[in-house]
Amino acid sequence: MADTETTATTDWRAWQESWDRQQEWYMPDREERFRIMLDMVEAFVGTEPRVLDLACGTGSITARLLDRFPGATSTGVDLDPALLAIARGTFAGDDRVTFVEADLKDPGWPARLPHDVYDAVLTATALHWLRKDPLEGLYGRLAELVRHGGVFMNADHMIDDTTPRINAAESALRHLRMDQAMRGGALDWAEWWRLAAEDPVLAAPTARRFEIYGAHADGETPSAAWHARVLGEKGFAEARPVWCSPSDTLLLALK
């Protein structure tokens, strides 16, 4: 009897939704920041923008962008092979979306992109994986990629070290609620990646991912004021927060 070849498959949409739930465990206001981000996209560059989804992960921003603006296009760039696998699987067949594997610490990464300029560059909960020096270099390259009148938005952990007691109280309450959610069945970062490593399709890219990054990158979380200052120095005309929670900030820079 002839051998029957079997090909491993996985449910990309289920992994996409699982990633969203895991991220919401850390950031229960995640959808609110995405809503404001897309409000600002519409305000500055309209409803058919060319967008660079920076450090795109599974394509969370791209998914919300295309749901709201069907005429938009998106280029997702990331280095994580497992998250890129989920992104590519989720958006397979959608010609509005292109994914590029690149290291944002490599000065030459923009050469891999399909376009020289973008209306908007969007990123969320990703650039805290970089330390200040490479982040400054990245901001300089983004200033060249964003067209005049276009925007860069970064939603991330931005810590103000001048308010230690406020920071401590906010952190204590947030972690108490996270512990309660975990007892209710929420997945944390480590548990999500453990499950990914057991998936027949994601096991190999997950292993490569940990070879690249380790458990977590040694990044930094400077204040919103630091981000605004550096973006101004690198060529953006204006920069300030347009949304914030007790722990995170959505900072907009206008070219």
Write the pLDDT tens digit of every residue in 214-231.
877 778 999 999 999 999
Residue 162 counted as domain residue: yes
Predicted confidence (pLDDT) per residue in 35-87, tens digit: 999 999 999 999 999 999 999 999 999 999 999 999 999 999 999 999 999 99
**Residue 14 above 90 pLDDT?**
yes
pLDDT grade for 136, boundaries at 50, 70 and 90: very high
Confidence of residue 4 (pLDDT cuts 50, 70, 90): very low
Residue 86, phi then psi, degrees to nearest 5: -65, -45
74 within a domain of the structure (yes/no)? yes
Element housing 249 (H / E): strand 248-254
Give domain status of residue 6, yes or no. no
Our count of domains for the chain comes to: 1
- Domain ranges, residue 192: 12-254
Residues ≥6 apart with Cβ < 8 Å to 232: 238, 239, 253
Is 16 among the domain residues? yes
CA atoms within 13 A on the CB side of 92: 9
**2 lies in some domain:** no
pLDDT band at 7 (very low <50, low <70, confident <90, very high): low
The reported pTM is: 0.94
Any domain includes 86: yes
3-class secondary-structure state, position 77: strand
CATH of the domain at 246: 3.40.50.150
Residue 5 domain-assigned (yes or no): no
6 has pLDDT over 60: no
Does residue 18 form part of some domain? yes
Mean pLDDT, residues 147-151: 98
Placement of tokens 């108490």 in the chain:
176
